[in-house]
Amino acid sequence: MSVGLVYDPLYLEHDTGAQHPERPERLGAIVSHLKEQGLWEELTPIAIDDATLDDLNLIHIPELAEAIQRFAATGGGYIDPDTVVSPRSYEVALRAAGGCLRAVDAVLDGQVSSAFCLVRPPGHHATPNRAMGFCIFNNVAIAAQHALARRSLNRVAIIDFDVHHGNGTQDAFYDDPSVLYFSTHQYPFYPGTGHWEESGTGEGAGTNVNVPLPASCGDAEYKRVFEEILVPVIRRYRPDLILVSAGFDAHFADPLAQMRLSAAGYYDLAETIKSLADELCGGRVVFALEGGYDLTAIAWSAQACVDVLLGNDFAADPLGRAPARPAPDIEGLLAAIKQANGLA
């Protein structure tokens, strides 16, 4: 079955300024690259529209949308040291969240088998009451709650491999057993959350799984995490749908972090996720773009994930593997996480 694509040129109208890392060129680089590689025409466009206020209110307090709309209408600016709102950002953010919603609907309705959402601004730092960390509304969290509240799903898994912890997604579902949140991220690092002891509360205890990795982890370390922790955790949870916060800033070429994944490493991660989706939930998986700030790295890493969804072999990229360097010792960390999650 076909692989869905969410994209709208409107996403380029979120103007963060030429020097901001989360700039329109990120998305432009992916789109141009997929077209050059002949993959664009292999994807099935998904018709999208704007998220409504009711959609946003699935996760966010009403005052957040009102504040962003007013700020954009008056010309915008920085809402925190990292996050920019431009005159069209509110409109773009509605379309980004709406794109993820329609991707979930298309997958659940069987129009496509899976989907990749090339959206911006990203979303996983946006908390229920605050926009932050380049993010305005939490696209993936809204899509997850939509699937649960309106599409009669019982369990949704969110897998977040962005280099930064998705504090907003964690906050949205920290006491909710109907969402399993799994995150790999560099730690300690922005936003400062995501210790492995942050495992959920109340009825949601045990459904929040953080893997806070030290800097310099690469393909081998991430592969171990996915094989030894993600796979058994997801199999035990048995989700009806898998959503992926796909950040490519753990690539070794990324300027904002110190991880050492390669495009080949991302291919392996995506292959594991797709295999889990095929095994557990009829292949129903939706990837949504989060971070990634080197234009070459993000383009080839996104292609790696698209190739997995399409069933293509890995296409060798010009950056290759990370230069050789001693790997950090993660043995104790993995043992502690396994013990805490009943995997030991």
Give catalytic residues, as residue numbers: 125
Helix axes 24-36, 295-310, angle to 10 degrees: 50
How many other C-beta atoms are found inside a 10 Å radius of the C-beta of residue 43? 21
Please name the residues in contact with 107: beta carbons below 8 A apart, sequence gap of 6 or more: 4, 113, 114, 115, 241, 284, 285, 286
Coil/strand/helix, residue 139? helix
Q: Do β-strands 44-45 and 77-78 pair in parallel, antiparallel, or remain unpaired?
A: unpaired
φ and ψ at residue 84, rounded to 5 degrees = -105, 140
Burial class (CB in 10 A: 0-12, 13-18, 19+), 224: middle
CA dihedral 256, 143, 301, 296 (to 10 degrees): -60
Are 103 and 4 in contact by the 8 Å Cβ rule? The answer is yes
Please name the residues in contact with 99: beta carbons below 8 A apart, sequence gap of 6 or more: 6, 7, 8, 46, 48, 117, 119, 139
Distance between first and last Cα of the chain: 38
Are 63 and 23 in contact by the 8 Å Cβ rule? The answer is no
- Give CA separation, 156 vs 32, 104, 180, 294, in Å: 32, 11, 6, 31
Are 123 and 141 in contact by the 8 Å Cβ rule? The answer is yes
Amino acid letter for position 19: Q
Question: CA 29 to CA 37: how far, in whole Å?
Answer: 12
